[in-house]
Amino acid sequence: MKIMTKTRLTKNRLLRETKVFAPKYSKMVFPEMYGVTDGKAVGTFIEHKFREYLSDKYQFIIGNSAKGIDFPDLGIDIKVTSIKQPQSSCPYKSVRQKIYGLGYSLLVFVYDKTDDHKHKTGRLNFLHTIFVEKEYTADFQTTKGLREIIENEGNTDDIVAFIHDRNLPIDDIEANEIAEELLEKEPTQGYLTISNALQWRLQYGRIIQVAGNVDGIHNLLN
C-alpha cells in the first residue's frame, strides 16, 4: 500500500489556508467555549483548532517554548486577541526588537466572542486576520521618531538622547552602537505598539487600521 505524504507547509499555503479557516470557523459553535472569558484559554483553543486544520493537509514543524514561535521553519508566530482589547504578550529578547522588529512575522487573529445562553455554546467570529511581515514588526513611535531624526540630519548624540527619552532598557554603550548602525541604515517603519516590560506587550490597534493599505501589513479576510 502506498503511503501518502503530506504537502510541506509554506508561507503562501499558510496564508491561503488562513483565508479559508477564519470564515469557516466563524460560522461554527463550540460548547466547550461557552462561558469562557479567559483570553489565554480562548487563544490556546483557536491555535489548537488551526493547527489541527492544517495538519490534515500539511506537514510542518510545530513550535514549542524552546523554539519560541508557532511555525519556526516559516518564521511565523500566531497571535490571537479579542477585539475588545487587541493585544498580547511576547517574549522579550532584546531592546533591538523595538527598533528593528521582532525577528519573525505575525499571523494575528482578532475575534469577537459571543455566547448562546439557550444552547450553551460559544461562537468565535473572526473580525480581522492580519499578516504582519517581520520587517514591519518594530514599534511605531520608536521607528517613526528615529527616522525623523535621521532625515533631519541628526547625529549619534541625537539618537542616543531619543533612545534614553523613550526609556528603553539599554546602557550607553549599546545605545551608541545602535545609533551608529542607524546612521548607516535607517530603520524600517514599524506598525506595532510595543510596551516596555519583562515581556513585550504588543498592541494591534494600528495594524487593524492600516491592514491592506501599507506595505507588509496584509488583511487576509479581504
User: Does any domain span residue 123?
Assistant: yes
Query: Following CA atoms 190, 220, 48, 26 in sequence, which dihedral angle do they give, to the nearest 10 degrees?
Result: 130
Q: Does pLDDT of 200 surpass 60?
A: yes
User: Does any domain span residue 210?
Assistant: yes
Parent domain of 70: 7-89+103-137+197-219
pLDDT tens digits for 71-93? Answer: 999 999 999 999 999 999 888 88
| Mean pLDDT, the chain, integer | 92
Q: Give 98's contacts (C-beta < 8 A, 6+ positions apart).
A: 138, 139, 142, 168, 194, 200
- On whether the CB atoms of residues 177 and 183 are closer than 8 A, the answer is no
User: Does any domain span residue 18?
Assistant: yes
User: Does any domain span residue 71?
Assistant: yes
Instruction: With cut-offs at 50, 70 and 90, classify the pLDDT of residue 64.
Output: low
- Mean pLDDT over residues 50-71, rounded? 84
User: Does any domain span residue 119?
Assistant: yes
Per cent of the chain over pLDDT 70 is 95
- Mean pLDDT over residues 127-149, rounded? 97
User: Does any domain span residue 24?
Assistant: yes
- Mean pLDDT over residues 202-211, rounded? 95
User: Does any domain span residue 176?
Assistant: no
- On whether the CB atoms of residues 62 and 93 are closer than 8 A, the answer is no
Phi and psi at residue 174, in whole multiples of 5°?
-70, -35
Q: Which three three-digit cell numbers place residue 10?
A: 509554506
Q: In this predicted structure, what is the pLDDT of residue 196?
A: 78
- Mean pLDDT over residues 206-213, rounded? 95
The total number of structural domains that make up the chain: 1
The answer to which of 13-22, 24-33, 60-69, 208-217 has the lowest mean pLDDT is 60-69
- On whether the CB atoms of residues 59 and 14 are closer than 8 A, the answer is no
**Rg of the Cα atoms in the chain:** 20
| pTM beyond 0.75 | yes
- On whether the CB atoms of residues 115 and 106 are closer than 8 A, the answer is no
Q: Which three three-digit cell numbers place residue 95?
A: 531592546
The answer to which of 4-8, 44-48, 141-145, 188-192 has the lowest mean pLDDT is 4-8
- Mean pLDDT over residues 167-174, rounded? 89
Q: Does pLDDT of 2 surpass 50?
A: no
CA pair distance 104, 16, nearest whole angstrom:
19
User: Does any domain span residue 173?
Assistant: no
